[in-house]
Copies of this chain bind each other. A is one copy, B any other.
């Protein structure tokens, strides 16, 4: 199954399927039809059938999907069955919010949180003590950390990312308002550009306003 190429549009939708299937599991639902799932998720049943057909032989007519099986298969595709080790760089409000968020159920382990601000160094957040950025190299190398969340000002982000690539980080969860253009091809970046998200909201508000 993992050899099959799945389109990026489907991949984009997978985390949402995973979330809904997880909720069904927690509510002890064993099987669900594409129609029922369609109502819950507010997408067409045919879209759901098409998307989930990528994961092979289940979802028989009149029988529905096996929730647990599907949940497990999607987890594998998303790499959630493997442990990802994460550090957070920047212990401001956003970094603290991430540190306090419980990602562990999804296979993510936060190994360390770093800053340069003496006022937060030594502070305990989400069970971790904030360390000086000087300690990053050691922590990354000794623990085989593979991911970094960047919650630093944009002026600092590029330099830090460059160093982290040297230390062995291959994945960035980037919250800085900048595009990281890193030399190594194998480095992956997922951006969360909050200002851009807010502008899209503003666009839709404005469009609605012009309609009225």
Q: Which of A30-38, A45-53, A88-96 contacts B (4 or more CB under 8 A)?
A: A88-96
CA distance A18 to B197 in the complex (A): 12
Is B147 within 8 A of A79, CB to CB? Answer: no
A188 adjacent to chain B (CB < 8 Å): yes
A146 in complex: contacting residue of B188, B193, B197, B205, CB < 8 Å: B205
CA distance A146 to B201 in the complex (A): 11
CA distance A172 to B87 in the complex (A): 30
Residues in B whose Cβ lies below 8 Å from that of A193:
15-16, 19
A132 adjacent to chain B (CB < 8 Å): no
Is B15 within 8 A of A195, CB to CB? Answer: yes
Q: With CB as the reference atom, state the residue of chain B lying closest to A202.
A: B79
Tier of interface size on chain A? 35 or more
Decide: A205 near B15, CB < 8 A? Known: A78-B199, A100-B93. Answer: no
Is B209 within 8 A of A82, CB to CB? Answer: yes
Is B202 within 8 A of A84, CB to CB? Answer: yes
Binding site for B on A (CB under 8 A): 2, 11-12, 14-16, 18-19, 41-42, 77-80, 82, 84, 92-94, 96-98, 100-101, 103, 106-108, 146-147, 170-173, 177, 179, 181, 186, 188, 190, 192-212
